Amino acid sequence: MAARTLTMVKALNESLRKAMEDDPKVLVMGEDVGRLGGVFRVTDGLQKDFGEDRVTDTPLAESGIVGTAIGLALRGYRPVAEIQFDGFVFPAANQIITQLAKMHARSLGKVRLPVVVRMPYGGGIGAIEHHSESPEAYFAHTAGLRVVTPSNAADAYWMLQQSIRSADPVIFLEPKRRYWERADVDVDEMPLPLHQARVARAGTDLTLLAYGPMVRLCLDAAEAAREDGRDLEVVDLRSISPIDFDTIQASVRKTRRLVVVHEAPVFLGPGSEIAARITERCFYHLESPVLRVGGYHSPYPSSRLEEEYLPTIDRVLDTVDRAFAF
């Protein structure tokens, strides 16, 4: 099949459809995923084609959704559980952190839980309270979970299938502000490994490292910086746990400067770990400290103020200027 231009929503929908066609043990479950097709229509049409036994509308109970998925995985199924919005995941945190992440180690390797927990995350859509969180650091800090996030439709298509095939539990974060952006998806191409970062834009003067919703912002910032004569490299992290430090290190050794950008608060966010590790690995190559751009250490604000909270191109470029000022 030739490459097709798809939105991220459509790419995720087709990825789920392909996984369910390939493996009858793949199940989809969550609030409104069946008849409605999901709030963002990611599961549109799946219940009609695969039936209510494989695409199940659940009660409004996130702990129950994840707990049921764990039980199904113990019986040999591969459940894909949807958390309707990022801020709704916290009632299920106990199931995810104390059961889903730990069962493999607790059983001395005898039990695997191939569960995918999908959730839209991040801001930028003017949503109400509890609909624009960035909880990735909680799960990346939890040993036993894989945490990944696509930034475009092509990665969404492949990474979701790779996550479903994984023997380990995967937190699959979908950047909701990018749901309607289009990209070419070639279902015959060979995808990158699930946890490998990619260079989204080659450059020589500084590395912008981002993931999920911030990759597009950093690509736009790099284009704006070109007008000032600066050639910025953009690296899409793709996986937040584990992290592909080798790709980051190779980029930083070339550019000698690094700015990490994410929507999550800077305080103890994923950028903190990346800054520490790259400083250790590239100490003699860095010409400035590793700098970070992210959300503030405060509750997510109302929709009218989210543009003051979220990273912008201007904030990224101001931080780039700081990196060159050392």
Q: What is the pLDDT of residues 3-36, one digit of tens each?
A: 899 999 999 999 999 999 999 999 999 999 999 9
Residues 217 and 239 occupy one common structural domain? yes
pLDDT value for 1: 55
Q: Is residue 190 part of a domain?
A: no
Domain boundary among 185, 210, 244: 185
- Across all residues in the chain, what is the average pLDDT? 97
Q: What is the pLDDT of residues 279-298, one digit of tens each?
A: 999 999 999 999 999 999 99
pTM for this model (two decimals): 0.96
Q: Which residues contact 298 (CB under 8 A, 6 or more apart)?
A: 265, 309
Residues 258 and 315 occupy one common structural domain? yes
Partner residues linked to 241 by β-bridges = 147
Range of the domain at 78: 4-185
Q: Is residue 41 part of a domain?
A: yes
- Cβ atoms of 113 and 66 within 8 Å: the answer is no
* Cα–Cα distance for residue pair 156/160, rounded to 1 Å: 6
Domain boundary among 185, 211, 233: 185
Please count the structural domains in the chain. 2
Q: Which residues contact 213 (CB under 8 A, 6 or more apart)?
A: 122, 124, 151, 175, 176, 177, 178, 263
Task: Tell me which DSSP letter residue 23 carries.
Answer: -
pLDDT value for 72: 98
Domain boundary among 185, 208, 235: 185
Q: What is the pLDDT of residues 108-165, one digit of tens each?
A: 999 999 999 999 999 999 999 999 999 999 999 999 999 999 999 999 999 999 999 9
Residues designated as active site = 131
Q: Which residues contact 8 (CB under 8 A, 6 or more apart)?
A: 150, 152, 153, 156, 174, 175, 178, 179, 180, 181, 183
